Amino acid sequence: WWKPRSPPIFPGQLPFIGHGHIFLKYRNDMWSYLKSIGEYVLEHGGIIQFRAGPHIVYAVNDPEVAGMIANTCLDKPYYYKFMSDGIGNGLVTLNGDMWKIHHKLLNPAFSQKVLNTYLNEMDVQGQNLVSQLTTVAEKGPVDITDFLFKHILRTVSRTSLRLEAKDQDMIDNDFGEAVEEIGNIIIHRALRPMLHLSFLFNRTAMKRRQVELIRDNRELLDHIIQKRKSDLEVTKDTVNNKDDFVPGKFKPILDLLLHLSDEQYVLSDDEIRAHLNTFVAASFDTTSSALQTVLLALGSYPDVQERVFNEIQNVFDNIEELTKHDLTKLVYLEAVIKEVLRVYNIIPLVARKLDTDIVLPKYTLRAGSSCILSIYGLHRHSSWGPDAREFKPERWLNPDTLPTNPNLYAPFGIGKRICIGRQYAMMSMKTSLIHIVRKFHISGDISTLKWNFEVVLKAKTPLITLTLRS
């Protein structure tokens, strides 16, 4: 009776190693294990506990508690450091006051006004994607992951760096692919507890490759940053030039960062590099997987696909060029994307370091431990109603059927560290989908797919069939 009561403990805990042995057992199918933790949280009142060796980890899907933790504990657990080792300390990994300062500085780069200037570029890239996909149309089931991946990578690197055409192709490939490869090393390390130990990781071939990639990435970005600095110097271009808000023109994120560095003396070249790398790393895998999953869902629900197609036809009436007003009119398409992000959890969990005791009516969550905010669990919470696990885009058309607590919908995270690129992602997915759905009839079967957890949840062998619409 004198001990503080802890939340229910996930089965399988052993002395000293805690649940580490189960992590090892499931290392090649991490999603099965993480999903079973998500289900256990749902069945046991919204908070549970497990241990990775001596380290206590809580998992939460109670929306009040998750919201409180997301807003009071802003720091990330130690394994986020693997990301800053690879690509520098950008917004995802910065902690404490530095995060607050940089978040405030970078927020304007993602305002709706700035994002609207990217629409033309997203439109052009959407058209390119469709012409590439035409080469695999009418050829039976195909895996289009690579097309989607490269498409998002190209869009993000263009809106981040915008260079002259000859440099841009090199950047689309070299810069994007280097960040992708570094990202794969970071994820591989994060999912293998043995490699968390630096003295083991430092002896691997993977570490040597990471060092090479970091060096190449640094040289490439330094070259671009210096070149862009001197171009801006020559043209005396300013960030708030009113021409930047004219359709077809836009300022890349790099210019905003350079402006902060030049006129407000706040960002060093190292910090600029870290932010550019982070925007690319945080966006291409997430957005391309989300796009892939929307296409799989459309292919599996023909009625939903026809409704999306009809809505697009009604809004565009055969007009080729997109405008920001058209995007807001696509309410059903938006409902479909939101429902895919809810049911299929592109990022099924995020984590925080508890830097203070969290005192709850029943338990105290201990300072120094980690807390997983289970997005999987929030999206299946009983407040969504008895059909919580069903794919029903219509629920988004009637706000009365949605839960009142906003924390229950968290595809982009919750609280103060919510995704800064969420509107960017929605815009880029909508423009891509408009072009794809207008051009092709899609079929597939999402119900039979298995999923891989690589921080982002990805379908294994996601086959779809594309048929040209007449």
Site residues (vs ligand HEM, CB under 6 A): 91-92, 103, 278-279, 282-283, 286-287, 290, 346-347, 350, 411-413, 417, 419-421, 424-425
Nearer to ligand HEM by Cβ, of 33 and 279: the residue is: 279
Distance CA 157, CA 167 (A): 12
* Closest of 63, 28, 128, 137 to residue 381, by C-alpha: 63
Closest contact distance (angstroms) between CB of 372 and ligand HEM is 10
Nearer to ligand HEM, 427 or 442 (CB): 427
Binding-site residues for heme sit at 419
Q: Strand 370-374: give its sheet, edge to edge.
A: 47-52, 55-60, 370-374, 349-353
**Whether 379 contacts 410, CB under 8 Å:** yes
What gap in Å lies between CA 418 and CA 427, rounded to an integer? 17
β-pair partners for 451: 459
The pair phi, psi for residue 152, each rounded to 5°, is -70, -40
Q: How far is the CB of 289 from ligand HEM (least distance, A)?
A: 8
Which residue, 22 or 456, has its beta carbon nearer to ligand HEM?
456
If one counts every other C-beta atom within 10 angstroms of the C-beta of residue 92, the result is 19
Beta carbons within 10 angstroms of residue 262's beta carbon:
15
Instruction: Tabulate helix, strand, coil % of the chain (nearest 5).
Output: 60, 10, 30
Beta bridge partners of 47: 60
Residue 219 to residues 90, 175, 183, 212, 230, Cα–Cα distance (Å): 18, 10, 18, 11, 17
Q: Which is nearer to ligand HEM, 322 or 425 (CB)?
A: 425
- In angstroms, the CA 151 to CA 122 distance is 10
Which is nearer to ligand HEM, 22 or 37 (by Cβ)? 37
- Minimum CB separation of residue 119 from ligand HEM in Å reads 14
Closest separation in Å from C-beta 463 to ligand HEM: 21
With tokens 């970071």, the residue in question is: 186
Give me the least distance between CB of 187 and ligand HEM, in Å please.
Answer: 14
C-alpha separations of 304 from 37, 162, 283, 308, 441 in Å: 32, 36, 26, 6, 12
Identity of the residue, 151 or 417, whose beta carbon is nearer to ligand HEM in the bound complex: 417
For ligand HEM, give the closer residue by CB, 92 or 464.
92
In the DSSP assignment, the letter for residue 14 is: B
* Residue number of the CB atom closest to ligand HEM: 421
- Closest to ligand HEM by CB, 103 vs 218, is 103
Report the chain's C-alpha Rg in angstroms: 23
Task: Give CA–CA dist 439/234, Å, rounded.
Answer: 44
Where are the strands (E) in 1-72, listed by range?
A: 47-52, 55-60
Give min distance, CB of 407 to ligand HEM, in A. 13
CB of 17 to ligand HEM, least distance (A): 26
At its nearest, how many Å lie between ligand HEM and the CB of residue 324? Answer: 17
